Amino acid sequence: MALQALGPRVWPRLSQFKPPVLRIPGSETLYVKSRHWLGQSQPQGPGLRTRLLITALFGAGLGWAWLAARAEKEQWRQQQRMEALRQAAVGQGDFSLLDHKGQPRCKADFRGQWVLMYFGFTHCPDICPDELEKLVQVVQKLEAEPDLPLVQPVFITVDPERDDVAAMARYVQDFHPRLLGLTGSKEQVAQASQNYRVYYSAGPKDEDQDYIVDHSIAIYLLNPDGLFTDYYGRSRSAEQIVDSVRQHIAAFRSILS
């Protein structure tokens, strides 16, 4: 009976319940209900343009550092190469030869000029013409750059028995108007070849008294002081030699300035 006196129990309506609230210090209130969660704005990071700019700048920095390290390494290798060449004492002695016009020539005649020099012989069937043609291409490419000095091309024979003044004159005219052909006696040619560490040896003669001369294959670079500066083997292309000569000229100018 007491329970009836109390009357029917009144239950609260469901609408009176509020959704639970999760509070995180330092942030806005986050509602558990999905509609409230989706309705809140999200914190935004850097824009796309900013991220792309940062990435580009970072990449550029890495690229610059790589190029700088590569240039430093190449400079070190060049210095090591030059030191090895100086120790080899190439081109230290003088020479006395005749040019293709019959005029006497010595090493001092080329002071003040950059010189590209090749040792070969006029009866060479393929290698010498190819190397001289490459040498001429280098000279022509350098001539096309007005800020660079003229480079003197020189061809020294290792076959003085057949390559006299007249033979050299006929031969050099087919390559470049400034190509200078040098010849001399066997002793004079031997001295010049020895100075530049050039090996050569005449092979056996055939029934026509013809023969091939085996010899070193290299193009030598001399600076205006007459000093041997670099050499280029058969595998080096004309473009590679041009780049190397440019670098040597720039380095020589920096020393003088």
Q: How many CB atoms lie within 10 A of CB 254?
A: 8
User: Is 128 labelled as part of a ligand binding site?
Assistant: yes
One-letter-per-residue 3-state SS of the chain? CHHHHHCCCCCCCHHHCCCCEECCCCCCCEECCHHHHHHCCCCCCCCHHHHHHHHHHHHHHHHHHHHHHHHHHHHHHHHHHHHHHHHCCCCCCCCEEEECCCCEEEHHHHCCCEEEEEEECCCCCCHHHHHHHHHHHHHHHHHCCCCCCCEEEEEEECCCCCCCHHHHHHHHCCCCCCCEEEECCHHHHHHHHHHCCCCEEECCCCCCCCCCEEECCCEEEECCCCCEEEEECCCCCHHHHHHHHHHHHHHHHHHHC
Q: Known binder of ligand: residue 106?
A: no
Is residue 176 part of an annotated ligand binding site? no
Going by DSSP bridges, is the β-strand pair 180-183/96-99 parallel, antiparallel, or unpaired?
A: antiparallel
- Contact by Cβ (8 Å): 214, 207: no
* Whole-angstrom distance, CA of residue 67 vs CA of residue 39: 51
Please state the residue numbers annotated as binding site.
124, 128, 215
Please state the residue numbers annotated as binding site for Cu cation.
124, 128, 215
